[in-house]
Structure 1
Amino acid sequence: MKRTILIFLHFSICIGTFFHFLSHANSQLSAQEQGILLNLKKLWGNPESLRHWIPTNSSSHCSWPEITCSNSSIIGLSFRDYNINGTVAPFICNLKNLTTFDVYNNSFHSKEFPRALYNCSKLEILDLSQNYFYGAIPDDIHRMSRLRELSLEGNNFDGNIPASIGQLQELRKLMLISCLFTGSFPQEIGNLSNLEELKLVDNSKIVSTFPLEFGKLKKLKYLWMARTNLIGEIPNTIGEMEALEYLDLSENNLMGRIPGSLFMPKNLRIVYLHRNNFSGEIPHVVKALNLDVIDLSENKLTGTIPDDFGKLKHLTSLALFLNQLSGKIPDSIGHLPGLVYLGLFNNNFSGSLPAELGRYSMLEKLWISTNRLTGQLPEHLCDNGKLVEVIAYENQLVGELPESFGNCSSLELVKIYRNNFSGNVPSGLWTSSNLNMLMLSDNSFTGELPERLAWNLSRLEMNNNCFSGKIPQGVSSSRNLLVLMASNNLLNGTIPQDLSSLTILLLDQNQLSGSLPLAIDSWKSLNTLNLSRNAISGQIPEELGSLQRLSELDLSENQLSGLIPSKLGFLNLTSLNLSSNHLTGSIPSEFEYNEYAHSFLNNPGLCANRPSRSFNLENCNSSQKGSSLNFYATIAGIISLVVAVLRGLLFLFSLIRKNKFHLTWKLVSSQKLSFTKSDILSGLIANNLIGYGGSGQVYRVVVNHSGDIVAVKKIWNNRKLEEKLEKEFLAEVKILSSIRHANIVELLCCISNDNSKLLVYKYLDNWSLDHWLHKKSRATIPSSSIDHVVLDWPKRLHIAVGAAQGLSYMHHDCSPPIVHRDVKSSNILLDLDFNAQIADFGLAKILINEGELATMPAVAGSSGYIAPEYAGTTRINEKIDVYSFGVILLELTTGRKANDGDEHSSLAEWALRHIEDGKPIDDALDEEVKELCHLNEMCHVFKLGLYCTSTQPSTRPSMKVVLKVLLQCSQPIRND
């Protein structure tokens, strides 16, 4: 018994000693790991986001939110969105049990893949996404054999994706998104038999076919390969991915027929194949009965909608728009219980819509415009009270609108113009509580306008119908109504006096009578007013001249009489028509120009003080005709003499220039040139002058027999401006000579003498952004470019991304950072493919101490683009460029100029007030490019512009963040 007790005591002592040593070892390990963390914090410059890393005891670090521990030992490090600027330290792998390292969305940087992580022998999850890593993925990446998740998204990794990545057999997730990879996608990825998620989206430098071997990925659930330059056809092996749930191959260059096996995986829920070049018919056999979203839009598909689509009881969204599909829409589509969105516009569908559409589902959006559909709109569209948008314009639809529209309070948007609808509009539709836009033009509707309209209605278009009766005062004074277009109807009565917030009013070709109102204070928002072809009489009220926003005025073909108010000359009118009235007296002097030559026709009582042949008006003082002719002849003689003298001086100057001028110039370049300084100097003539930069003239010069073209900016030195211009010249040379980027204009050389400085750039054919974006600038665009005068939204977004890439490079990749200080649309130049390049660095400032505010002796920049803190303190950092770029985003989305808010505000202030007033973003967007398929993108970019133009610099995003958001905006929104 004693022996047993002794053995037990001995055993207990051994166990106690073991646990004592184990506890001591754990304590030592914990202290060692905490020391590693504190060294990391110090290495990364003690970032503010880690200020709570303060040691209190040996295991306190396990409670820090970035740390995951198991058995008091660190197994995970996560620094997502921590704004850390640093490197991956080799001693991280001294954390022997580390399985997860996540540094998503920081500023970690390295010239190569951080191979030090190879020493983390237990690492399973590695996320280096959204940082600044460079170089190629190493060929021996397979040494990280325990990896289950690898994400390298949004870095600058380049070169080929190594085949050895196919040896990481434990991988469940592989995310190689938005990098600079070249070559093609390695077929060895097909060997990753345990892979469940594969995301290869936005690798724009890769050109690849869809690898046949991907069919071996039997466990793959999520495949995202949008915007990766895929070419060729989709192989039939895609149907062998039996676990596939999500498939996105959109926005590539795939072609041929969609393989019949595509809809075979039984678990498939989401299919995005839009914006490719698929042809032929849609596969007619569907085994994937759990399909939720099908998007085959913007291809070249023909044939009909497969009958099997009517069996997809879980289908919520069907997008087949912008194809060449035809035939009748199957009635079975109307019986789908889950259908929320049906997008079939821009095809050749015919016949009537399914009669039961909307009866059994929570239908929200019906987009069927631009087809050949006939019959009536289905009566049950709004049975479940969820219908938001009906877009059915440009069809052959007939009959009256469904009576249920009168009780459909969910409706926000109705576009049914250019059909054959008739009868009265349901009374409830006019006042529907959420209705924002009602477009009924080009039909045969009858009836009268109601006493009031929906409180939220911003746009009412009813041109070319048979509406009659008076315009009720409540209609025109609706608080939110901005656009009322009711041309060519049978409306009668007088013009409403209260137009409230209207910006566009078209009432031409009606039966309106009476005089124009005299008290028009409420008309101040009007931009366009057309009352032509009515029976309006009386005089033109002088008060019209106080409508400062008015740019288009048409009162022609009425019975107006009396004088033209002189105050009309104060308006900045781009279009004026007062023809075919009974007006008398002289026209205001501001209109005596050729652009208004057709504005006053058929008014026999009108005359001009400076008549011309184009006006065809009498001289207001005919007794002075002879003296006027003599005066003009004298002036012409003087002008001829001056021209002769100038030609002589010019000839003399050219002789001096040929003999001496070229000898005084000095050319400096850091690269081989295909031209000489003589080629440049001889091209500085008036015929080559194309504009003005921030401090000089800009010329377009053909420099050799090959037809190469350069842009030359001439900075001239005279009087006491010399010192300032010299500094600007040196600043631009210094900056452009030190940086190389695809989105920053390339400086070829500089040429100088004692009197002038010349900067020679690569010429960009498509001028600057402001030439294309703003109407008054478009007149300067060469006629050969006329087809591209209106930039569509994809081009605008492409330009925004390019400019953001240039600024992001300046702010984040240049050491030290560079602040441009004069970012504006006229300093964003465009090549033939509308790739953006930032120009005009004469005001730029290099921040010697990164992150430290610098001061400048005076404010520089351009009106409407200047950040408020810069104007007040002249203290600068990168955030002033972010503000200016935000203004450009607002220009791109609204079409307005930077200083075009209203009479008291800039565009940025106007946009902010628009939102604060509770107005829809849609109303602020440029009507020339606003399309439903791009509306979400435009709204997101508008919001980003507001974010960038925050009055407090600290609340503005960095250009790195701005670029990320723009890249995301260029990707379709997913609802998976």
Structure 2
Amino acid sequence: MTKSSQSCVKLSCYSLLTFLILSHANSQSEMYNDENKVLMKIKQYLQNPPYLSHWTLSNSTHCSWPQVNCTNGSITGLALVESNINQTIPTFICDLKNLTYVNFSANYIPGKFPTYLYNCSKLESLDLSMNNFDGKVPDDIDLLANLQYLNLGSTNFFGDIPASIGRLKELRVLKLQYSLFNGTYPDEIGNLFNLETLDLSSNFELPRSSLPLSWTKLSKLKVFYMYSCNMVGEIPETIGEMVALEKLDISQNSLTGKIPNSLLLLRNLTILYLYHNSLSGEIPGVVEALNLTAIDLTKNDLTGKIPDDFGKLQKLTGLCLSLNKLSGEIPENVGRFPYLKDFRVFFNNLSGTLSPDFGRFSKLGSFHIASNKFSGSIPENLCYHGELRNLTVYDNNLSGELPESLGNCSSLLELKIFNNQFSGKIPSGLWTSSNLLSLMVSQNTFTGELPDRLSSTISRFEISYNQFSGRIPAGVSSWKNVVVFNASKNFFNGSIPQELTTLTKLTTLLLDQNHLTGPLPSYVISWKSLVTLNLSQNQLSGQIPDTIGQLFVLSQLDLSKNQFSGKIPSQLPRLTNLNLSSNRLTGRIPIEFENSAYSSSFLDNPGLCVDNPSLNITLCNTGPQSRTKGSSRPLALIVSLVAIFFILAFLASFSIIRLFRKRKQGFDNSWKLISFQRLSFTESNIVSSLTEHNIIGHGGYGTVYRVPVSDLGYVGVKKIWNNINLDKKLESSFHAEVKILSNIRHNNIVKLLCCISNQDSMLLVYEYHENRSLDRWLLKKSKSSGVSGSVHRVVLDWPKRLKIAIGAAHGLCYMHHDCSPAIVHRDVKTSNILLDLQFNAKVADFGLARMLIKPGELETMSNVVGSFGYIAPEYIRTTQVSKKVDVFSFGVILLELTTGKEANYGDEHSSLAEWAWHKVELGSNIDELLDKDVMELGYVDEMCSVFKLGIMCTATLPANRPSMKEVVQILHRCGEGFTFAERNVRQNDAVPILKSSKRGQGLGFVDGDSE
């Protein structure tokens, strides 16, 4: 070839290369422009939300935007997470031809599974979790053939998990947790041989089924979460074939049988959670499982000893074996684990002494050994590394003095050592420990005097049934945050110091059975929060101060067996329990206490008299004074009638003037309807039916109507109080309820159909529930229940009560764990649980609900709002809102369902919750506390279990209450015959599990606040 020819060839090659480069550049530019147009179209479809304000043509390259990910200049990833999207995903999203990653999690996206995503042919990762999707996952989902990551969790998908998922051969991660699937487990999942993570946890609607044997062939699976899935049967021995397993959580099911040896021989296993099942037999040795870092076998029926091989698990950070039947001693080496932070073996039959090495070799944070048979002393080094937060050793046979080192443990939050045989003095540093919240040392033989200064953080101070002596110090005024002060049955003497009345947060003051003398301080009105006051069996004297009548929340007052004299104050609070017996009181008993409910409240006071001859107390003389009193009654009646006449005249005039103004302005002034679904009625249909005839009740902020409409039959209408100058608080409540309910889609939360408003009226229109609210069925004073209007009380049987409890729990669980951000109701009570014709429960009335700014973050409200008897103690004390406020209120509902008593019922304490705890502490048989009308139907075991769950939910400390997730699972198991007591024992044998438990202790949840 000539040089000329060679030059031509080179020139042609250069020209071709240049052409290809220019063509590629033009192609890249064209692709960029096309993708940019799609992004602008998405922004427009989402109605130009503020968080996409930076999506502009002039804002450099879209590959730099945080929601967009590019590879080689082309969009491959799109993430719009927590963006409050309430529309469907754009149907044109697959116009982004190179998408491999799509994430729309944590929004409010409605509708069916978006099958148009099949057009994204390169899609490898799809996350649609935490949305309002419903319907079924399509059977042809395997058309997304390249998927490696699929997350459809925390949605409303139901039905079968499609077998076609087993044909997604590239899948590494499959997450279908916390949904409404109610079909079978597909065996085909066992064909996903590349799967590394499988999460089906918290699918409560799945039918009872055993673990498919085909799944144990997933040899690459590292993470397997299937807790709370209604699994039954035994753990198959073939689980040992899952050789890659690192984390296994199949807790909170109904698994039975023994723990297979093969499971504990998996060399890669680091976390093993089998708690809350019915596994039995002994724990197998674990010689080979040297990588385990956390073991939780809480609440099973495990027997025998803790294997000595456990001493070889040097990597353990958590060992939880509580609520079993384990016996024997703890292996010596366990105390020397170098990484152990959490040690829980409470509620077993373990015995022996505790290793002195506990805490010395690891940064121990929690040490829970309550309700066992341990003896000897507490290990000296529990707080050696200064990180011990919880020390719970109550109900054992421990003895000796407390280690001085506990006095220097500034990290300590809770010290619960009651009901042991400890003696000596409390280490001085404990009184002033900087973070201590609860100091509970009752039922021991401690001696010494109370300190002048107490830690400013302590809220629960219980030292009853000990041998403390001396005076209550004047320095008690510094105990500013004490809520419960229980010093019953000690040797305190001297007078009650005036400084004690400065403790404004006190709700419970128990100083009975001491040697106190002198008068009761006259200035007690600072005790504005005091609910329970017991000063009985002392030597107090003088008059009962009149100022006690200004303690408006006081409901339990016991001043019996003292030397009080003079008259009973003419005004006392509305007391549910009063005992002034065995004093030297004189004069007339106030008329409001002249009834049989207080027949034993005034005994052994010879100077007292009454007008009521039915009481076994001396009758007062009927002299001139009585006649004068009687003659004044007609005059009082006349004055009252005149006053009523003037009030009625004023109201009639006001109504006439208001009606005239409305007619002048035009009554129907621009009603506005906002619907949330297709409606068969108009605003005029609703407004015209708001008549007195249709009123069915009154809510917190207004009247509730039952309005007939076509197709639906009836709807419920909540009318916010009519007021031209609308109160901002009411307006805020209205908007809060609309905002929350319009975004919620759940079977156990009331459905909001629409809202209607004008300038001075606001209406919320709900689906109507034939059986109205739960309180109408439980209230024994009511002469009718339901909608039938029958004159006798209809007893709600136990299966319906349990069904209602489970349904309401599901609704609250959805609010707490599936809504983003989480929702706290703040006013959970029986009147806010609505029932449809089949007694399905619906949580209602969100006027007080608030969305938490961030999950887990406390929100402080300016004032406490709620209903007496349902309000959590920390909410009253701090006005801080958390999910555990709702858990407390729900626990009260469980106590109402099981006992048949109202939330404000009181006996020894102020409310049903306090009464129930007090009965448990006294060792009462639980079956004696239950609703007798329901017990006759033969559901005692289930009722006892639900009662105990109510006790757990109403623990004083929020951290000791279960989460709503845990509540739902336990209630489901109660319906399957599960009880907290040991299986196959008499009911009375189960009672001691709670017999000595103190309020706030918690009863065995592994993760105190596992939210």
Whether these two folds match at TM > 0.5 is yes
User: What letter is aligned with 1:21?
Assistant: S
Query: CA separation in 2, counterparts of 1:770 and 1:306?
Result: 49
Shift of residue 833, structure 1, vs aligned partner: 12
- CA, structure 1 residues 88+973, in 2 after alignment: closer, same or farther (shift >3 Å)? farther
- CA, structure 1 residues 729+168, in 2 after alignment: closer, same or farther (shift >3 Å)? closer
Secondary structure of the residue aligned to 2:240 is helix
**1:223-276 alpha-carbon deviations (Å, 9 max, x no partner):** 111111111111112121111111111111111111111122212111111111
**1:898–1:908 CA contact under 8 A, matched in 2:** no
**Mapping of residues 845-884 of structure 1, within 5 Å:** none
- CA, structure 1 residues 269+782, in 2 after alignment: closer, same or farther (shift >3 Å)? farther
User: What letter is aligned with 1:604?
Assistant: P
**1:334–1:357 CA contact under 8 A, matched in 2:** yes
Query: CA separation in 2, counterparts of 1:561 and 1:783?
Result: 49
**1:431-470 alpha-carbon deviations (Å, 9 max, x no partner):** 2222211111111222221222222111111111111111
Q: Which residue of 2 aligns with 1:274?
A: 275
Q: Which residue of 1 aligns with 2:567?
A: 563
Shift of residue 532, structure 1, vs aligned partner: 0.8
Query: CA separation in 2, counterparts of 1:564 and 1:823?
Result: 38
Q: Which residue of 2 aligns with 1:33?
A: 35
Q: Which residue of 2 aligns with 1:48?
A: 50
Q: Does 1:543 align with 2:552?
A: no
Q: Which residue of 1 aligns with 2:585?
A: 583
**1:511–1:535 CA contact under 8 A, matched in 2:** yes
- CA, structure 1 residues 822+554, in 2 after alignment: closer, same or farther (shift >3 Å)? closer
- CA, structure 1 residues 110+796, in 2 after alignment: closer, same or farther (shift >3 Å)? closer
Q: Which residue of 1 aligns with 2:594?
A: 592
Query: CA separation in 1, counterparts of 2:184 and 2:92?
Result: 35
Q: Does 1:395 align with 2:404?
A: no
Shift of residue 627, structure 1, vs aligned partner: 13
Shift of residue 100, structure 1, vs aligned partner: 0.9
Secondary structure of the residue aligned to 1:480 is coil
Shift of residue 765, structure 1, vs aligned partner: 10
- CA, structure 1 residues 541+475, in 2 after alignment: closer, same or farther (shift >3 Å)? same
**2:773–2:830 CA contact under 8 A, matched in 1:** no
Q: Does 1:743 align with 2:730?
A: no
Shift of residue 370, structure 1, vs aligned partner: 1.1
Secondary structure of the residue aligned to 1:735 is strand
Secondary structure of the residue aligned to 2:376 is coil
User: What letter is aligned with 1:221?
Assistant: K
Shift of residue 99, structure 1, vs aligned partner: 0.8
Q: Does 1:164 align with 2:164?
A: yes
Query: CA separation in 2, counterparts of 1:783 and 1:459?
Result: 42
Query: CA separation in 2, counterparts of 1:781 and 1:256?
Result: 48
Q: Does 1:914 align with 2:870?
A: no
- CA, structure 1 residues 727+549, in 2 after alignment: closer, same or farther (shift >3 Å)? closer
Shift of residue 120, structure 1, vs aligned partner: 1.7
Shift of residue 56, structure 1, vs aligned partner: 3.0
Q: Which residue of 2 aligns with 1:116?
A: 116
Which stretch shows the higher mean deviation, 124-133 or 4-13?
A: 4-13
Shift of residue 134, structure 1, vs aligned partner: 3.1
**1:769–1:826 CA contact under 8 A, matched in 2:** no
Q: Which residue of 2 aligns with 1:331?
A: 332
**1:503-551 alpha-carbon deviations (Å, 9 max, x no partner):** 2111111111112222334433322211111111112122222222322
**1:765–1:831 CA contact under 8 A, matched in 2:** no
**1:372–1:395 CA contact under 8 A, matched in 2:** yes
**2:589–2:609 CA contact under 8 A, matched in 1:** yes
Q: Does 1:511 align with 2:515?
A: yes
Q: Which residue of 2 aligns with 1:826?
A: 831
Query: CA separation in 2, counterparts of 1:807 and 1:251?
Result: 19
Q: Does 1:354 align with 2:355?
A: yes
Secondary structure of the residue aligned to 1:209 is coil
**2:452–2:474 CA contact under 8 A, matched in 1:** yes
Q: Which residue of 2 aligns with 1:98?
A: 99
**2:695–2:704 CA contact under 8 A, matched in 1:** no
Shift of residue 302, structure 1, vs aligned partner: 1.0
Q: Which residue of 1 aligns with 2:184?
A: 184
Task: State how many pairs are aligned.
Answer: 787
- CA, structure 1 residues 575+786, in 2 after alignment: closer, same or farther (shift >3 Å)? farther
Query: CA separation in 1, counterparts of 2:508 and 2:956?
Result: 25
Unaligned runs of 5+ in 1: 630-693, 698-712, 717-723, 748-758, 813-819, 840-860, 868-880, 943-969
**Mapping of residues 365-384 of structure 1, within 5 Å:** 365-384=366-385
**2:872–2:885 CA contact under 8 A, matched in 1:** no
- CA, structure 1 residues 158+972, in 2 after alignment: closer, same or farther (shift >3 Å)? farther
Q: Does 1:460 align with 2:435?
A: no
User: What letter is aligned with 1:174?
Assistant: L
Query: CA separation in 2, counterparts of 1:696 and 1:331?
Result: 75
Query: CA separation in 2, counterparts of 1:228 and 1:515?
Result: 61
**Mapping of residues 6-405 of structure 1, within 5 Å:** 6-56=8-58, 60-111=61-112, 113-207=113-207, 208-405=209-406
**1:269-328 alpha-carbon deviations (Å, 9 max, x no partner):** 111111111111112134221211111101111111111211111111111111111111
Q: Which residue of 2 aligns with 1:936?
A: 959
User: What letter is aligned with 2:866?
Assistant: A
Secondary structure of the residue aligned to 2:9 is helix
**2:525–2:548 CA contact under 8 A, matched in 1:** no
**Mapping of residues 782-801 of structure 1, within 5 Å:** 799-801=808-810
Unaligned runs of 5+ in 2: 631-689, 698-702, 718-743, 753-766, 786-790, 890-912, 918-950, 966-1004
Shift of residue 557, structure 1, vs aligned partner: 0.6
Shift of residue 579, structure 1, vs aligned partner: 0.8
Secondary structure of the residue aligned to 2:78 is strand
Shift of residue 866, structure 1, vs aligned partner: 5.4
User: What letter is aligned with 1:836?
Assistant: A
Which stretch shows the higher mean deviation, 338-347 or 149-158?
A: 149-158
Q: Which residue of 1 aligns with 2:475?
A: 474
**1:476–1:496 CA contact under 8 A, matched in 2:** no
Shift of residue 47, structure 1, vs aligned partner: 3.3
Query: CA separation in 1, counterparts of 2:339 and 2:408?
Result: 22
**1:766–1:831 CA contact under 8 A, matched in 2:** no
Q: Does 1:837 align with 2:817?
A: no
Structural RMSD (CA) = 4.8
- CA, structure 1 residues 254+832, in 2 after alignment: closer, same or farther (shift >3 Å)? farther
Query: CA separation in 1, counterparts of 2:183 and 2:348?
Result: 37
Query: CA separation in 2, counterparts of 1:431 and 1:921?
Result: 29
Q: Percent identity?
A: 46
Which stretch shows the higher mean deviation, 543-552 or 619-628?
A: 619-628
- CA, structure 1 residues 155+367, in 2 after alignment: closer, same or farther (shift >3 Å)? same
Query: CA separation in 1, counterparts of 2:186 and 2:371?
Result: 42
User: What letter is aligned with 2:603?
Assistant: L
**1:263–1:285 CA contact under 8 A, matched in 2:** yes
User: What letter is aligned with 1:223?
Assistant: F
Shift of residue 10, structure 1, vs aligned partner: 2.9
**1:338-391 alpha-carbon deviations (Å, 9 max, x no partner):** 111111111111121222211211111111111122222122222222221111
Shift of residue 190, structure 1, vs aligned partner: 1.5
- CA, structure 1 residues 404+806, in 2 after alignment: closer, same or farther (shift >3 Å)? closer
User: What letter is aligned with 1:43?
Assistant: Y
Query: CA separation in 2, counterparts of 1:808 and 1:244?
Result: 27
User: What letter is aligned with 1:510?
Assistant: N
Secondary structure of the residue aligned to 2:92 is helix
Task: Select the structure with the greater relative contact order (CA < 8 A; seq sep ≥ 6).
Answer: 2
Which stretch shows the higher mean deviation, 578-587 or 907-916?
A: 907-916
- CA, structure 1 residues 340+782, in 2 after alignment: closer, same or farther (shift >3 Å)? farther
User: What letter is aligned with 1:799?
Assistant: A
User: What letter is aligned with 2:296?
Assistant: D
**1:769–1:828 CA contact under 8 A, matched in 2:** no
Shift of residue 606, structure 1, vs aligned partner: 0.7
Shift of residue 558, structure 1, vs aligned partner: 0.7
**1:540–1:565 CA contact under 8 A, matched in 2:** yes
- CA, structure 1 residues 938+45, in 2 after alignment: closer, same or farther (shift >3 Å)? farther
Query: CA separation in 2, counterparts of 1:82 and 1:158?
Result: 25
Shift of residue 5, structure 1, vs aligned partner: 3.9
Query: CA separation in 1, counterparts of 2:34 and 2:24?
Result: 15
Which stretch shows the higher mean deviation, 474-483 or 238-247?
A: 474-483
User: What letter is aligned with 2:544?
Assistant: I
